[in-house]
Amino acid sequence: VGLNSNGRRMAHAPYVAELAAAGLNHVQITLGSSRPAIHDAMMGARSFDQTVKGIRNAVASPLHTITNTTLMQANKDHAEEIIEFLYDLGIRTFAMNGMIYSGGGFGNGT
């Protein structure tokens, strides 16, 4: 059983423990960037610290933790930096997707 999340609620370690106890075995957390200002512009103001703490808590738990990053104008030039940042957080499995120019992504300068 898995969960896709922005990771913000997982900044609360007891919540991560509750998820694992309920039978969750893997989680995918979205990280917009290793740079706080860029992540926050993409994902919402003041979300970077919560997301990173959520990743740390998930990695420290029994949950298999992976991340996903959508590459776009704002973060494409520091993709390698993002990978190194994730590795330093303990992430060993990650995904990167290209931007789909439809819906909210159409014409988005982010």
Q: Could you state, in order of their start, the residue ranges of all structural domains in the chain?
A: 2-99
**Residues 24 and 4: beta-carbon distance below 8 Å:** no
Is residue 104 predicted with pLDDT exceeding 90?
A: no
Model confidence, pTM: 0.91
- What is residue 30's three-state secondary structure? strand
Question: How would residue 82 be classed by pLDDT, with cut points 50, 70 and 90?
Answer: very high
Contacts of 86 (CB under 8 A, 6+ apart): 31, 34, 55, 67, 94
Report the CATH number of the 2-99 domain: 3.40.50
